[in-house]
Amino acid sequence: MAEFNWDRLLRRIGDGAVVPVIGQELMRQQVDGRQVTLAGLIAQRLAKNLEIDVEQPPFSELSAVVSAYLSRPGTVTTELYQDIAWAYKEITRDLAIPPALLKLADVGRFDLFVNLGFDSMLTAALDRRRFAGASVTRQVSFSINQSTDSQDQAMKPPPEGTPVVFNLFGYASSTDDYVIHDEDALEFIHRLVSGDVEPPPWLLSRLRGADLLILGVHLPDWLGRFVLRAATRDRLMQSRRGYFIARENAAQASALDEFLRRFGRETRIHVYDGPAEGFVDELVRRWLEQNPPKPGAAPGSAMGAEPTTAQDGSIFISYGRENLAEVSRLHEQISGLGGDAWFDRNELMPGEEWERTILRKIQKDVRLFIPVVSTRTVERARTEGEAYVFKEWRQAISRAERIVGRKFIIPVVIDSDFSGGLTPYQTLLDEFPELDRYNFGHAPAGVLTDTLRAQLVQEIRNLRREEAR
């Protein structure tokens, strides 16, 4: 086997022209003293619950259990999706993020990933390594039964600098809209290639213009061919893209690798002689050697860490971690108007003393309170009604009742589409009915509209007049 072309791979990564495709091999970690994948843990749980005794080959455990279940007379798959989704949520509640994913997140030039699982482990790894745990990474899950609202959200390009994880085979839920067996996978790829379900054009454009770094992917050869064709603009025989492959036993050319060599005449195929985890270790070592992080910065981030002490300021932006990217932009915009704005960058895990400090500031020192609203905030309100950010809102609403003669709260919607008014945010209004009395401003992706800009300019002037008295 030819020596792996590290120089070419690192150059292409530096150009932002490589998309990692993540398979189950990178999902392995130590559980009870043995190496196991997330799918393997789910398969074990499912087999136990369904009383199925079947051999579970490495990286095909779940498929083996599902196939054994379907071999029983009269069985249907409908309830399996819900059972698997429940098992996924229970198992991942206390499961650590696989080390290989955390290391891969340190390669900061990777901004688009394709995940062949139905999980959010890679998304969590990126957020932890690059954003100190704040939910910034955007996860887009391909869906063949997607709601109109979800589809509209997926069509919107992410803000610049926001990493994206594309779950090609969906995301675990109680519906049958993710892949748990080969026929599911065939249908997903058919819908993607045929155009029956339109994927985001911005995503396909980025995906089809890049080389593919295929890490730890173990798919049946027939399915692997479909997946690679779906990610390629032209016929494989005409495509000039590069493929970098790392997985166990990849050095022994599989049928898929041989297919690429024979029919991908213009492609460049580079196969690493070793498992995917070892490849990631070597890749990250080489990358950081050439691109050392700036002092104070996380390895995968593009800038230094922000200060973690409370800041003084008269304008407080209150947000959930799911909106950090837009809030950072909103903060820059308000500061550019001359506003003394700040926001709590430790929202993820503030700690009791930090929490008391922030709440005291809202109660006494803050002059203008800006709660940031998005559809992601609505979803968080459904699942985390006692989240710290909502404590801030309750504190501000309590104080607003004692303020007469001036504005104290200006809610700001950061979703791109605000044409439907407050209807999409009714869950929040039910929880915080007091907000309904305020006029909501609009800052799509954190960028102020002219109307909101004028309103904030006036409020900043009012604050300065008060301070001058």
Locate the DSSP E strands across 385-443: 412-413, 441-442
DSSP 3-state of 107: coil
Under the banding of pLDDT at 50, 70 and 90, the label for residue 238 is: very low
* pLDDT tens digits, one per residue of 161-181: 789 999 989 999 878 889 998
**327, 446 contact by CB (below 8 A):** yes
CA distance 130 to 165: 14
268 strand-pairing partners: 242
No. of helices (H) and no. of strands (E), the chain: 18, 14
pLDDT attached to residue 103 = 94
**105, 154 contact by CB (below 8 A):** no
Which is higher by pLDDT, 371 or 182?
371
**Cα→Cα distances 278→98, 121, 248, 273, 281, Å:** 13, 19, 10, 10, 5
CA distance 343 to 327: 8
Under the banding of pLDDT at 50, 70 and 90, the label for residue 266 is: low
CA distance 97 to 455: 44
Q: Is the pLDDT reported for residue 297 higher than 60?
A: no
pLDDT attached to residue 293 = 73
Q: CA-based angle 365:329:348, to the nearest 5?
A: 65
Instruction: Please state, rounded to an integer, the average pLDDT across all residues of the chain.
Output: 82
Q: Is the pLDDT reported for residue 121 higher than 90?
A: yes
pLDDT attached to residue 147 = 59
Closest by CA position to 135, among listed 413, 384, 311, 358:
384
* pLDDT tens digits, one per residue of 322-334: 888 888 889 888 9
pLDDT attached to residue 318 = 93
pLDDT attached to residue 349 = 42
Which is higher by pLDDT, 151 or 322?
322
Residue appearing with tokens 């003669």: 405
Averaged pLDDT, 256-266: 58
Domains contained in the chain, CATH given: 6-290 (no CATH), 315-468 (3.40.50.10140)
CA distance 311 to 280: 39
* pLDDT tens digits, one per residue of 1-43: 468 899 999 999 998 899 999 999 999 888 877 888 899 999 9
pLDDT attached to residue 387 = 77
Under the banding of pLDDT at 50, 70 and 90, the label for residue 149 is: low
Q: Is the pLDDT reported for residue 433 higher than 60?
A: yes
Averaged pLDDT, 135-140: 86
pLDDT attached to residue 133 = 76
Under the banding of pLDDT at 50, 70 and 90, the label for residue 308 is: very low
Query: Burial, 117: exposed, middle or buried (Cβ in 10 Å; 0-12, 13-18, 19+)?
Result: buried
pLDDT attached to residue 336 = 83
